[in-house]
Amino acid sequence: MRLRKIAISVSVATVAATLLSAATALPAQGPDIPTAAQIAWAFPLSSPGAAHPADEVVKRVPGSSAAYTRAQIEDPFAAPDWFPTEHPPMPDVVAHGKKPGVQACARCHLAHGFGHPQSANLAGLPSAYIAQQMLDFGSGRRANSAVMTNFGKAMTGQEIKDASDYFASMKPQRWVRVIESETVPKSYLAGGGLRLRDEAGGTELLGRRIIELPEDDEQVENRNPHSGFVAYVPVGSLKVGAALVSGGGGKSVQCAICHGPGLRGLATVPSIAGRSPIGTVRQLIGFQNGARNGEWAPLMKGVVDRLTLDDMISIAAFTASLQP
């Protein structure tokens, strides 16, 4: 695949210069680097659970006339499409991938692009931004997902464009409900890194974590695009996150400088409002430790350098609570 640069618009270049200037002016101070054990909750794919048996029991979701077996739902090269009239025709790479090495994009990100906590919510992101991430994965400059690195290397420029344009055309919607809590339902990692409630019930202390669980375990396992998630975040994190996002605390700069009013994006800068909070934590960690070192990553480096794990949790909790 031949790599190509995607130009940043003049407006984005202007706010980027402002951001870099502000970040450079911050006092130098090393962050409280979290250990692998402290952030394991944010990287569920690194500890995948047991996959479902590929049975032939027919599954259905409310409001859809479609029917799939578990084996079909888990097919990496044929994403289930429960509501085909709710979106434009999916490009072939989105619906089926490309054998042998590229799985169907909609298998993880779903047909509407909202995805699950272990994958990214792509709905409504700028096409140029999505495409640049794929190029960065393919070049190895973005190294926070081995799976996506392989896909980025195997996809053609046209396939990247088709998938990027498709997900960019999806309208963002509220997909995660944020709850501040000291405790969280006990859960476990199922196949593919999806976190589900423990069948025995019970609760445990949340601590310095964000835990995202399906609103309905069965419907999310069936990849129902109408069934979202609830995110349990530490008590007080929304207030702290709001202050940090507005530039408070002297640790960072105002997120709206680049991410726009309501943090809903600006030109080719992505929206960060209403998206998975553990996904946001993963990206902040990636910018801080260099795993995200792609074309536009330098714009974020000075912003995250002084953030602690608790800061990242609070920022992610607040941004997830916003209307996308």
**Average of per-residue pLDDT values in the chain:** 89
Distance CA 10, CA 229 (A): 37
CA 225 to CA 105: how far, in whole Å?
14
DSSP character at residue 142 = B
What is the model's pLDDT at position 194?
Answer: 93
Residues 295-311 have pLDDT tens digits of 889 989 889 999 999 99
The DSSP letter of residue 213 is E
Place of tokens 């934590």: 281
Domain boundaries, the chain: 58-168
Global pTM? 0.88
Question: Which percentage of the chain shows pLDDT scores above 90?
Answer: 77
- Range ranked top by mean pLDDT from 44-48, 55-59, 185-189, 251-255: 185-189
pLDDT reported for residue 107: 95
Predicted confidence at residue 156, as pLDDT, reads 97
- Token pair, residue 26, equals 């911050």
User: Which band of pLDDT confidence, cut at 50, 70 and 90, is reported for residue 251?
Assistant: confident
Name the band, by pLDDT with cuts 50, 70 and 90, for residue 14: very low
Residue that wins the pLDDT comparison between 48 and 151: 151
Residue 50 φ then ψ, to 5°:
-70, 135
Q: How would CATH label the architecture of 58-168?
A: Orthogonal Bundle (1.10)
Helix (H) or strand (E) holding 108: helix 105-109
